[in-house]
Amino acid sequence: MQYHLNGFKPGNYQIRDEARKPATPPPMADLPNEVDVLIVGSGPAGLALARQLADFADIKTCLVEQKPGPMLFGQADGISCRTMEIMEAFNCSEMLVKETYQLRQNAFWEPDANQPDQIKRTHKVPDARLGLSEFTHGVVNQARLHDILLEGMENSVTHLVPHYSRRLVTLEVDPELSQNPDAHAITATFETENDSADKKVETIKARFVVGCDGAHSAVRKNLGIEMQGDSANKAWGVMDVLLVTDFPDIRVKTFIQSQDHGAVMIIPREGGYLVRLYVEMDLFGEDQRAGSLELTSDDIIAKAKLIMNPYQIEVKEVAWWSIYGVGQRVAESFDDTPVGNPDNLIPRAFVAGDACHTHSPKGGWGLNTSLPDTFNLGWKLAAVLQGKSDPKLLQTYEQERRKVAFMLINADREMSALVATRPNAQKNAESVKTNTAEIEKFIARQNGFIAGTSIGYDPSYITTGQSNQALATGFHIGQRFHSSKAVRIADGRPVHLGHQVKADGRWRIFIFADTRSPLDEGSAAAGLIHYLAQNPASPVLKYTSEEDDIDAVIDVYSVFQQQDLSIETLPAFIWPAKGKYGLRDYEKAFQCDLKHDIFKARGIDRKQGCMVIVRPDQHIANILPLDAHKELSAFFDGFMLKP
């Protein structure tokens, strides 16, 4: 798709440039008096959380944003492979795949040895992330991702829309009610953000609150949570531009380091014409902020021209620009419990996204870490609010995501040092970076983290079974379920198994059958299916109410090695009757795809088979032998509650 030819226009890219108009905010409506979950901030973290919770009719959610309306142009541009997988869980990856610019190459430029005042390409390589997922790392206006999440919210069963133009004034958690999850222990006060002299003050009570309100988070400050880490001392300019240039790699992700003037990183944007430039500017003092340097977009353009000599740059339009500082900081806590939570308290207030970790934007990690923060938290909140899981489950949010935040700032610190040079080579000639090979090595070494596909959670009661890892070496416990295709038995269609794990709060059990036919009652797979369907200790039976479909809490899929199976001969449990009419679900039974052998691709023990338990956030919780029936039940008994 191509757009922005005659100037940047925000809005729905499915509409031609000539007719496209930006989205308008919904009309002002009063805040509700009481809610289950209050979300403050409608960035990627807030919207991902709201998008999840919007699908639960029995959970009342309120999303409040200080800005006057939806984002028109976003600071974040990169959409990692993992973020694309999450968007697939929301049933909307196809639109992003269609609209994003796919990053498939990296180019590296350094000073020309014969003419050091000019740059010269050293080499060009395929992007290191290719093949880590069925999706490709892409680039698109952050506002488009927001639009898609907002549309999903509004079209959900709860028709959730944000409340704009509200500034959080105070937030309090009642200590006497904090350990009663049913109590509305949180009181938040908001003031309308408008030009009126008599601004309206509104109060809302909530059972839980999540601060997704950015680096200067009012929620975090009200909770007294400190940010820890390094402050910025280097300014970078960033701008999205429509330009005319003779630089040959303008449509390739490019790293440029000049001899005397600093560095530039080029990120081609969606639509074929728009380009993002990250331009190294100046150092500043400890008592300064990047915004105080009084730099302009013209200063950024002038610096880019110096760095990219001998190539010409003629900027026709600046769609967006900013000056930022490079610093890496992490919140001392991601919830309202004391650091380390020595008293094993249930958290009631959380921070996510930039509210708990800040860094430079060059790696494209902000959105791609913030959105998974609340993808981790959302299903846990829903499970507790619906009475399906013990409230202790909420303690695992900080345990899992704070580790990722430290991985993020460590990677960002290393990349920032590699990409940057000194702004004035005469000040310290020895510190000038002119070897982009180190950047290439870093990208290759960190490709799984950059793509988000290698991020894993440490062992816990919801991430366990490491002793059985050898049964499926390609499904790493703690990491996301790495999708691969299998053939649906009912209709012969190849399907990505990972795409069956939707953001609906359900757990999944994938049965990868042993070599014996499931029609043989002595096979391990047949034994497991019988246990799940008939035994009172079965977690599927124990934790599903009689009024619900059999897969309402734990959804079971089977993948068999035999190629001659017919759906009608298989146990009814794996193609169950559902809904008010008792219609059969034909989309749970699979056989191995001979073209994309999942047993081979994911290192699954063919003789023994195994079961892979997948959390609602698509991360692998456990791997067990097919005959480990008691261990399977014990796993779910550790945190789930009977209906």
pLDDT for position 129: 84
Residue 636: alpha-carbon gap to chain centroid: 26
Q: Within this chain, do residues 506 and 519 fall inside the same structural domain, yes or no?
A: yes
For residue range 546-595, what is the model confidence (pLDDT) as tens digits?
999 999 999 999 999 999 999 999 999 999 999 999 999 999 999 999 89
Instruction: State the amino acid at position 165 in one-letter form.
Output: S
Same domain, 270 and 164: no
Q: Is residue 597 part of a domain?
A: yes
Higher pLDDT among residues 468 and 130, named by residue: 468
User: What pLDDT, in 10s, does the model give residues 304-348?
Assistant: 999 999 999 999 999 999 998 767 899 999 999 999 999 999 999
| Domain assignment of residue 115, yes or no | no
218 & 248 share domain: no
Q: Is residue 270 part of a domain?
A: yes
Give the residue numbers spanning the domain of 244: 234-326+421-451
Return the pLDDT at 163. Answer: 97
Confidence of residue 412 (pLDDT cuts 50, 70, 90): confident
| Close Cβ partners of 311 (under 8 Å, ≥ 6 residues apart) | 119, 245, 246, 247
- On whether both 579 and 529 belong to a single domain, the answer is yes
State residue 108 phi and psi, 5-degree precision: -130, 130
Q: Give the mean model confidence (pLDDT) for residues 101-123.
A: 95
Instruction: Tell me how far apart the alpha carbons of residues 221 and 332 are, in angstroms, rounded to a whole number.
Output: 12
Give the separation between CA 165 and CA 589, rounded to whole angstroms: 49
Place of tokens 């303690």: 395
- φ/ψ of 205, rounded to 5, equals -110, 145
Q: What is the share, in percent, of the chain residues with pLDDT greater than 70?
A: 94
Q: Do 90 and 182 share a structural domain?
A: yes
Are residues 380 and 313 part of one domain?
no
* Residue % of the chain over a pLDDT of 90: 80
Rounded distance between C-alpha atoms, residue 226 and residue 331, angstroms: 6
Sign of torsion, CA 183 185 188 189? Answer: positive
DSSP three-state, residue 2: coil
Beta strands 101-102 and 138-139, pairing class: antiparallel
pLDDT at 289: 54
Confidence of residue 152 (pLDDT cuts 50, 70, 90): very high
Cα-flanking dihedrals φ and ψ of residue 564, to 5°?
-115, 25
**Does some domain include residue 50?**
yes
Average pLDDT over residues 503-508: 98
Measured in whole angstroms, how far is the alpha carbon of residue 249 from the centre of its chain?
29
Domain contains 415: no
Q: Is the pLDDT of residue 416 over 80?
A: no
Q: Are 491 and 360 within one domain? A: no
Confidence of residue 432 (pLDDT cuts 50, 70, 90): very low
Note whether 335 and 321 are same-domain residues. Answer: no
Same domain, 479 and 626: yes
pLDDT value of residue 424: 39
Sign of CA dihedral 136, 141, 142, 143: negative
3-state secondary structure 208-236: EEEECCCCCCHHHHHHCCCEEEECCCEEE
pLDDT at 284: 52
User: Would residue 624 count as lying in a domain?
Assistant: yes
Name every residue whose Cβ is closer than 8 Å to that of residue 92 and which is 6 or more positions away in sequence: 148, 149, 152
DSSP 550-578: TTSSEEEEEEES-SS--GGGS-GGGS-EE
Q: Kindly report the CATH number assigned to the domain that includes residue 150.
A: 3.50.50.60
Residue 461 lies in a domain: no
Return the pLDDT at 431.
46
Q: How many CB atoms lie under 10 A from the CB of residue 294?
A: 7
Residue 430: pLDDT band (50, 70, 90) is very low
Domain identity same for 306 and 349: no
Task: Give the DSSP letter of residue 631.
Answer: H
344: which 2 tokens?
């094993």
pLDDT of amino acid 327: 77
Q: Which of 491, 468, 410 is nearest to 229 (CA)?
A: 410
Domain shared by 444 and 476, yes or no: no
For 188-205, write each residue's pLDDT tens digit.
Answer: 999 998 776 678 999 999
Q: What is the pLDDT of residues 245-259, one digit of tens each?
A: 999 999 999 999 999
Query: Of 253-262, 374-383, 498-507, which range is least confident?
Result: 253-262
**Given pLDDT bands bounded at 50, 70 and 90, which one contains residue 281?**
confident
For residue 606, what is the domain's CATH number?
3.40.30.20
Q: Does residue 584 sit in the same domain as residue 474?
A: yes
Q: What is the pLDDT of residues 28-83, one digit of tens each?
A: 899 999 999 999 999 999 999 999 999 999 999 999 999 999 998 877 788 999 99
Query: Is 125 a domain residue?
Result: no
CATH number, domain containing residue 311: 3.30.9.10
Count of the separate structural domains present in the chain: 3
pTM score, whole prediction: 0.94
Q: Is residue 357 pLDDT above 90, yes or no? A: yes
- First-residue to last-residue Cα distance in the chain: 49
- pLDDT at position 425 is 39
